[in-house]
Amino acid sequence: MTGYGRGQKEGNKGHYLVEIRAVNSKGCDLRLRLPLQFQVKEMELRRLLQQRLGRGKIDFSLQLSHAEKSDYRIDEGAFMAYAEQLKSLGAELEVPPGDLLYTVSRLPAVVVPNEDSLSEESWAELLAAVELAIAQFNSFRAEEGLAMQKDLLGRLEEIEALLQELPRHEEERLQNVRDRLQNNLDSISLKKELDENRFEQELLYYLDKLDISEEKVRLAQHCQYFKEVLLAEKPAQKGKKLNFINQEMGREINTLGSKANHAPIQRLVIQMKEEADKIKEQLANVL
């Protein structure tokens, strides 16, 4: 599911702004953007976000405004090592040194946070902003989920309504099968050689192969189960289970289509397939 959350917190070190954005994904794909002094807490933040946000391609960003200058320092050893190597390489390649100070300051591990810059107080302030962002993010998802639930129920009810249309075509379908068999026999001059009782037995056997009663019952049961899972309060994350149920619904619909052998019923089956496919597309967005 998509989502967006924003949390802000005023702290001793400055103003914390946390933003969380998510788009659909089968797994939990997290990307974090953190100021240097908070990168030591990246794994803790990852675990927290994975537990609280579920799946999705999630972007997490933290901005800290008005941070004190004393939060950072120059690592002189790293600076000098970079500078010496750049000077040597520049001389060897006859490349002008340019603004060496600026270039070296942009390299990794040159500007680093003070060891004591991330205090417990700063970590607590960040977590407060994160909690606000998560709350707004989950609220956003909940609103989207209600709209999606309404859409899924509508499509499920359409499948059930189409399923209820099948019985009124059954008598015509069976008569068409009987007539087709008789015409085939007449065309090859075998009808007069068959005993009428034997013909009826063979007809019943053939019709039994085309019977769709079991498929209709199972499809109705799958629809009911889908609805129960969709409307249940728990589990909170039910996307995979609903997807499995929809797959079973699709199998029954396909079997109905292959056994129907009757144009009006096949038209109804096509409409069912369309709704089932739309349900599948929506379930890709459900946790």
Which uninterrupted H or E stretch holds 69?
none
User: Rounded to 5 degrees, what angle do the CA atoms 218, 224, 229 make?
Assistant: 125
pLDDT score of 170: 81
Please give the Cα distance from 218 to 248 (Å, whole number). 9
Give the side-chain half-sphere CA count within 13 A for 151. Answer: 16
Residue 146: DSSP 8-state:
H
CA dihedral of 278, 284, 286, 287, whole degrees rounded to 10: 160
Report, in this order, helix, strand and coil percent for the chain, each rounded to 5.
Answer: 65, 15, 20
Please give the Cα distance from 63 to 130 (Å, whole number). 12
Is the CB of residue 25 less than 8 Å from the CB of residue 57?
yes
pLDDT score of 270: 94
Is the CB of residue 199 less than 8 Å from the CB of residue 186?
no
Q: Residue 283 — left, alpha, or beta (φ > 0 → left; ψ -120 to 50 → alpha)? A: alpha
Rg of the chain in Å (alpha carbons): 33
Look up tokens 């400055």; give the residue: 14
Is the CB of residue 133 less than 8 Å from the CB of residue 20?
yes
The b/e string for 149-162 (b: 16+ C-beta within 10 A; e otherwise) is eeebeebbebbbeb
Is the CB of residue 203 less than 8 Å from the CB of residue 250?
no
Look up tokens 């396909």; give the residue: 254
Please give the Cα distance from 275 to 155 (Å, whole number). 6
pLDDT score of 254: 93
What token pair was written down for 252?
């029954």
Tell me the pLDDT of the chain (287 aa) as tens digits: 688 999 999 887 788 999 999 988 777 889 999 887 788 889 999 999 998 988 888 999 998 886 555 566 777 788 788 788 877 877 777 777 677 777 777 777 766 666 555 678 888 999 999 999 999 999 998 888 889 999 999 999 999 999 999 988 888 877 777 777 777 666 655 555 556 666 667 667 766 777 888 999 999 999 999 999 999 877 667 888 999 999 999 999 999 988 887 889 899 999 999 999 999 988 887 77
Q: How many CB atoms lie within 10 A of CB 252?
A: 23
